[in-house]
Amino acid sequence: MSFSELGLIPEILQAVADAGYTTPTPIQRQAIPVVLAGHDVMGGAQTGTGKTAGFTLPLLNRLAPHASASTSPARHPVRALILAPTRELAMQVHESVRMYSKHLPLRSTCIYGGVDMNPQIQELRRGIEIVIATPGRLLDHVQQKTIALGQVEMLVLDEADRMLDMGFIPDIRRILALLPAKRQSLLFSATFSDEIKKLADQMLKNPQLIEVARRNMVSETIDHVVHPVSSGLKRNLLAHLVRHEEESQVLVFVDTKFGCSRLAHFLERHDISADSIHGDKSQQARTETLENFKSGKVRVLVATDVAARGLDIEDLPSVINFELPHTAEDYVHRIGRTGRAGKKGKAVSLVSSEERHRLADIQKLIKLEIRQEIVPGYDPEPDFHDAEGGRRKRGSPSPAAARGVDAPAAGERRKRGERETRETREPRERSPQRARQPSHIAPDGFDFSKPYEQRNPSAPADSEAAAELRGSHKAQRPIAFLLGGLGRKH
């Protein structure tokens, strides 16, 4: 199938061709016709699947009749609102919107916090059809009456689960109340918790479910390894690994903002080019750091989970978890920065004795026993293998890593609760029984094999979309190879 068969106008087809895309990805094949037909969409898709073009191309197509070369701001009301959880993601989406709308006189802008509001106000005054925003800053503009949302026809909520994690749902509800009831809404989320479903109920009308990537699926091209190591030796082990890495660039994940900067400084002191990215940095610093990493000027980027999702960093060969995430799902998102588009990737985790329960949760979630290798000279705490009845030989893979999956000691759980400086919110405890559900049943019972509360008989039950849905385990590789084969352009 080609883009021209999807019913897009020539100006958009031209922009797609300029981007170098020849074949729509599965999410694009499914989403474009549904959005063009004016339906609401509940989309289960992660970054890296071509999701952004999947909603942006039909959105532009629907707004194209309003495109106007007039200079009068009145001719350019806000008609589409795209909400994204982080500034980086908002900027990335805006880049795509700009690229795909370059042959249309439609104006777009990106508004996010952490920077001066005045340039954004000037920009909004000119008249802008498409606004990509983070929720908090959008509400600042609403409060200052520098944006009017009364003519919004299309709303996109990108990475709704991340919005939830970051505490944005009350803001989203406030924003929804400001929008005309008659509008088209698209909601994208990698996971569907009860809260997300409640939000979907509130904001979507007869939504059609579109899903390509199976929830929590980990790319098959990623090689996972755990290095058991005592917490006191982690920094030195990291420096050792980075020095011995053949691959040049590494993204390192840590838990706290404070630890993030400190670790980057430590590496710098050891002559390893490194920088850090976290929520306390100014927006300008975050953008520069990311650019420097993307362009290869910086070799190691140390990040908190703020950088875990949504960032499209090309060709990243390796991700290191300096600390395992508190929530198993975050492991999937973190390592999703590598092994993208069919390329090989490496997911390395430095695990101290007190993190064993996190490792257990992760292994259960991804249904994979991760190989364990002790790096000589960087031993774990003596109790690391207690539950396994003794220590393993150095450098040898674990015969039964999954046996380290016992529940954490009460003290460990207490420590988890005591951490105050974590970048993201403390996750809720997960029931161990969740991971044992069949793969099409989410932990909360949501069945991915069925369209979401389908009330419309023309919903994708018998369509290609439903076929994709049923076979979405298989869909992973073709998407990856498709993107890898064609090369990614931005």
Residue 227 C-beta: closest distance to ligand AMP, Å = 30
Q: Which is nearer to ligand AMP, 154 or 237 (CB)?
A: 154
Residue 328 Cβ, how far from ligand AMP at the closest point, in Å?
Answer: 23
Return the percent helix, strand and coil in the chain, to nearest 5: 45, 15, 45
In the complex with ligand AMP, the residue whose CB is nearer, 228 or 345, is 345
Two structure tokens written together for 203: 């904001």
Four-CA torsion 447, 47, 24, 94, nearest 10 degrees: 130
Which residue, 84 or 237, has its beta carbon nearer to ligand AMP?
84
Alpha-carbon distance of 293 to 282, in angstroms, equals 17
Which is it for the CA torsion 367, 368, 369, 372, positive or negative? negative
- Which residues 6+ apart lie within 8 Å of 252 measured at CB? 238, 263, 300, 301, 302, 303, 319, 320, 321, 322
Q: How far is the CB of 214 from ligand AMP (least distance, A)?
A: 16
- Closer to ligand AMP by CB, 89 or 366: give it: 89
Rounded least distance, CB 399 to ligand AMP, Å: 38
CA dihedral for 140, 141, 143, 144, sign (positive or negative): positive
> Tokens for 134?
């983070």
Give the shortest CB-342-to-ligand AMP separation in angstroms.
12
In angstroms, what is the minimal distance from the CB of 24 to ligand AMP? 5
Which two tokens mark 155?
Answer: 């709303």
Residues 6+ apart with CB under 8 A from 398: 226, 369, 370, 371, 372, 392, 404
How far apart are the C-alpha atoms of 188 and 55, rounded to whole Å? Answer: 10
Least Å from the CB of residue 389 to ligand AMP: 45
Q: Is 372 exposed, middle or buried (0-12, 13-18, 19+ CB in 10 A)?
A: buried
Rg of the chain's alpha carbons, rounded to an integer? 23
Residues that bind ligand AMP (CB under 6 A): 21, 23-25, 28, 47-53, 312, 483, 486, 488-490
How far apart CA 37 and CA 173 sit, in angstroms, is: 26
- CA atoms within 13 Å, Cβ hemisphere of 166: 21
Residue whose C-alpha is closest to residue 136's, from 125, 154, 120, 150: 120
Closer to ligand AMP by CB, 312 or 323: give it. Answer: 312
CB of 52 to ligand AMP, least distance (A): 3
459 vs 483 by CB, closer to ligand AMP: 483
Within 8 A by CB and 6+ apart from 269, the residues are: none
With CB atoms as reference, the residue minimizing the distance to ligand AMP is 52
Q: Between 83 and 260, whose beta carbon lies closer to ligand AMP?
A: 83
Comparing CB distances to ligand AMP, the nearer of 50 and 404 is 50
Minimum distance of ligand AMP from residue 48's CB (angstroms): 5
C-beta of 30 vs 276, nearer to ligand AMP: 30
